[in-house]
Amino acid sequence: MSSFATHALISVFVTAGALLAYDRLVVKPAQVIGIVDIAEVYRAKESEFAALLSASRTDDDRQRALAQAQAFGDRLDRALREIPVECRCLVVVKSAVAGGWSNAIDLTAALKAKVGAKS
């Protein structure tokens, strides 16, 4: 009888541990939503590029500004792929969120830092 009780107790602990691990590693991270305001990031970089283009006097300066704009697009694409991996959350655009969400975190500052946008 004690062997049966030992096996039952071990089974209960293993099952409880597996359920706890599933909750912490799968369910909880899936419930967290990250929000990014891409429009704000674009506005910040747009003003930088406009100032750069306004100040450029030669074609080389203009080409350099356009190359920086293209590099920004590449950095933004890379950053938008990295952020969900880093925060282990679903990332959505701020305009897609209606109402408040208790598990939402604003990742706009992190996105700005990754792409080099000034506030």
pTM: 0.66
Indicate if the pLDDT at residue 78 is higher than 90: yes
Coil, strand or helix: which one is 106?
A: strand
Half-sphere exposure of 97 (CA within 13 A, CB side): 18
Structure tokens that stand for 103 in this block: 């598990």
Structure tokens that stand for 80 in this block: 């938008």
Higher per-residue pLDDT: 77 or 49:
77
Q: What is the pLDDT of residues 88-117, one digit of tens each?
A: 888 899 888 877 767 788 999 999 998 887
Residues 6+ apart with CB under 8 A from 79: 111, 114, 115
CATH class name, domain 30-115: alpha beta
DSSP code of 99? Answer: S
Q: Structural domain boundaries of the chain? A: 30-115
